[in-house]
Structure 1
Amino acid sequence: MSQNPSDILTHCESGVMTITLNRVDKKNSITAAMYGAMADALVQAEADPAIRAVVLQGHETVFSAGNDIGDFLNQPPATAESPVYRFLHGIAGFSKPLIAAVCGPAVGVGTTMLFHCDLVYAGDNAAFSMPFVNLGLCPEAASSLLVPQMFGYHRAAEALLLGEPFFAEAALEVGLVNRIVPPTEVNAVAQGAARKLALKPLSSLIETKRLMKQGQAPQVVARMTEEGASFGRMLREPAAREAFGAFMEKRKPDFSRF
């Protein structure tokens, strides 16, 4: 488990909180401690009237490789209070504008968290993937609900059943991202949008977001709960054990028995 406080950086300026994934040497793979730090930052941003918008960003070469597998296996999420679920419910219920700046790989939760953001800017090197089936698991973060809604069923099935990467242009086409720019410009573009939002009346931002999301909000919470139960069960089953064992042993998994 990461104990490095600099793995997640937070910075507040001009009404914008920036949360930076800062574990580039590990491809910004997320530990329980990092989930906890991001969840805490969102709680702080929600409560602080001076914060009008939040930006989630990584590095120009990588957004996130998803869960840190070793940390995840040592500390699998067991309850709704687990750091990962605190973070996922935090982004799903966050009332203020949430902007993401995504470059390079965005794997698993690195992609599914984006469905809860209001604006997403991508580098032309961005590569999105949701390989849950490949790990003997099921989708999380209400992605089994939100991906079909955004992509349409057949494209969602391609993304979630095959679990193969799709790239920035495809993400723009289905509406997952707002704009594609060079990787060196993504964070600045996201910051520019956040600062524009920070100049607007907070009450109007919150109410407009609430009205846009109110139809699906109960469904998102219910689906997260259902996915979490399935995810926890499947994590203990043979297919997932084979997938994670193969990953740690750097071999191809054999699912022929499952």
Structure 2
Amino acid sequence: MNDLIQSHQRNGLLTLTLNRPDKLNALTNGMYNQLADLLFAAGEDPSITAIIITGGEQCFTSGNDLKDFLQDPPTQLNSPAFRFMDAVIQLDKPLIAAVCGAAIGIGTTLLLHCDQVLVTRNAKLRMPFVNLGLCPEFGASLLLPRLIGHTQAARLLLWGDGLDGTQAVALGLANEVFEDGPECLNAAQQLAEQLIALPRDALLHTKRLLKQPVLQELKDTLRRENLLFMERLKSTEAKTLLEAMLARSAAKG
């Protein structure tokens, strides 16, 4: 199995670690597909009770790998990135995110679907969709205003403002802030172990009940966002901005 996603299962806990540190854990189509496969399988596996997703001690994810993204953009609703989103939305087991360092784009919108979000003080959360000529994804246009209010959501989605770990907790996008990566990852492990010690059926029923009221509305929103996202990718505006960003990245080496 591709080691860009490390999968470790023990005592009811599945830990998924993005493992592309040289590229700041930028996500490729292959990584999205692998994450989707692992999450779909975890949902069906009775030996798994809880899941942690992390990028390790230094960086959660810098978002999409731009070169891969521009060479093979999503063109269908079952494209790899959208499969990953679907796998997360369908997951009926607790999901904990341990966010150390940067969490850009989908690195932040993913957090809206997690049951606990732990961050380091130096975490950098940002959703620069408009800045890149795109639109929100992963249900952010629905979930973010409900979580933090319209005006705060507008600052993050329209202006593309960023947040550090302390600000993310204050705003309600994360639960706890930690000084460094090891402390954050250890706390996520402890939270997961607490869940696994609870009555399993009651835990999973409660997780399903928490998701149910918004599930259909979320699926409808996701479809609208994804259709518009694919349309925006074809626009001159987005192509120009994304290619310029890729060129700047290449110039930096």
TM-score range, shorter chain: over 0.9
The one-letter amino acid of 1:169's match is: T
TM-score (norm 2): 0.95
After superposition, the C-alpha distances for 1:175-226 in whole angstroms (9 at most, x for unaligned) are: 2111111222111110111111112222211211121221111111000000
| Residue 219 of structure 1 pairs with residue 217 of structure 2 | yes
After superposition, residues 92-171 of structure 1 pair within 5 angstroms as 92-171=89-168
* Structure 1 stretches of at least 4 aligned residues deviating more than 3 Å after TM superposition: none
Structure 2 gaps, min length 5: none
TM-score (norm 1): 0.94
Q: 2:18 aligns with which of 17, 21, 37?
A: 21
Give the CA deviation at 1:117: 0.5
| Residue 181 of structure 1 pairs with residue 173 of structure 2 | no
Question: SS state of the match for residue 54, structure 1?
Answer: strand
Residue 60 of structure 1 aligns with which residue? 57
Structure 1 gaps, min length 5: 252-258
| Residue 229 of structure 1 pairs with residue 227 of structure 2 | yes
Q: 1:74 aligns with which of 62, 71, 75?
A: 71
Q: 2: distance between equivalents of 1:49 and 1:147?
A: 32
Residue 39 of structure 1 aligns with which residue? 36
The one-letter amino acid of 2:142's match is: L
Q: 2: distance between equivalents of 1:241 and 1:217?
A: 32
The alignment covers a number of residue pairs equal to 248
**Matched-pair contact (CA < 8 Å) for 2:77–2:227:** no
Question: SS state of the match for residue 7, structure 2?
Answer: strand
Q: 2: distance between equivalents of 1:69 and 1:57?
A: 21
Q: 2: distance between equivalents of 1:62 and 1:128?
A: 11
Q: 2: distance between equivalents of 1:110 and 1:169?
A: 17
Residue 248 of structure 2 aligns with which residue? 250
After superposition, residues 192-207 of structure 1 pair within 5 angstroms as 192-207=190-205
Q: 1: distance between equivalents of 2:199 and 2:137?
A: 33
Q: 2: distance between equivalents of 1:224 and 1:143?
A: 9
Question: SS state of the match for residue 79, structure 1?
Answer: coil
Deviates more, 1:92-101 or 1:74-83: 74-83
Question: SS state of the match for residue 121, structure 1?
Answer: strand
